[in-house]
Amino acid sequence: MRVQVAEQQLTPTVISTFAGCGGSSLGYHLAGFKELLAVEWEDNAVATFRLNFPDIPVYHGDITKLSSAECMRLAGIQKGQLDVFDGSPPCQGFSTAGNRKFDDPRNSLFKEYARLLEEMQPKVFVMENVTGMIKGHMKQAYLQIIQTLRDCGYQAKGQVLNAMYYNVPQSRQRVIIIGVRNDLGIQPSHPKPQSKPMTVRDAIADVHDTDAPPLPDWLKKACKEIIPGHWNGPYMMNIFKKYKGTSGGALSTKLLSWDKYCCTLPKTEIAHSCIIHPDGERRLSIQELSRLASFPDSFNFIDRPSSVERIGNSVPPNLMKAIALHIKENILLISSA
């Protein structure tokens, strides 16, 4: 897929940090934005991004070493000119799937995002993160993040959005923080839900690509007892103990239902922990995974292991499209007509 960046009058601009393979970038493109620069350090993510967005400049390196002056030079802008500064700093330290710690070094990268934000002064910023940052004792970290962003000269507001209400056939909750520069005098706001949840059938029933690995025999037998779309922990652990002899992997293994929405797609497949195709015979193919994340079939990934990680780490393009269109029309006040 070669995404051509449109050049037209009143086309809003965006810089994407922690860009990954380009999920957010695709969303902004679909909303009519021109991306001036992508910032990403991971080699495979950069290769995937360049494969799909050959016309967008990429800073391939450590964001801690990227000065605002160099960032603006690469993007061809001056301070205050950029419309939207986007970023999804690594969030593993906030994730409910791990041991959440205030001082997790992975949580400090948001400060690099804030540094560039303060020095470049775009009109609007968008920052995405996991919902773990607003739960329990980690809520204090979230409040510190909000205050740091406000101290950069912005009105800032966070809200939990679930991608399945924004034309994404996957339940994926994320905290979306939107900020508007103080001098613009506009309060930040978020898009309202735009769609009902789509079923797995709606998304992948016509896919016949079977490049996904088959399940081991014991898991195929287990799938005959697993209720599709039913992911209760103790229930799955008992089935795993019966067929595998241990409950290891039970909590992260999910059998999809044709007639329900998809669960959140993880970034890795470990041993027998995986998302299982509704037929109960195999894992999902890359085309199926990408569709469930709202990537088009024309989007190119490099290989299965890296593709699963790229998809699992991405902001679903259709979710970011909804956010970008909302910002374009309600904050930047640019008509999409």
* Given the residues 21, 71, 91, 274, the one annotated as active site: 91
Q: How far apart are CA 120 and CA 75, in angstroms?
A: 11
Residue 305 burial class via C-beta count within 10 angstroms: exposed 0-12, middle 13-18, buried 19 and up: exposed
Establish whether 91 is a catalytic residue.
yes
- Here the tokens at position 190 are 């978020």
Q: Per DSSP, which regions of 18-131 are E strands?
A: 34-40, 58-60, 84-87, 124-130
How many whole angstroms separate alpha carbon 18 and alpha carbon 127? 10
337/331 Cα distance (integer angstroms): 16
* Cβ–Cβ under 8 Å, residues 84 and 33: yes
What letters, b where the CB count within 10 A reaches 16 and e where it falls short, cover 7-28? Answer: eeeeebbbbbbbbbbbbbbbbb
337/323 Cα distance (integer angstroms) = 17
**Which among 156, 74, 85 is positioned nearest to 121, based on CA atoms?**
85
Query: Contact, 322 vs 191, CB < 8 A?
Result: yes
Q: Which residues are marked as active site?
A: 91
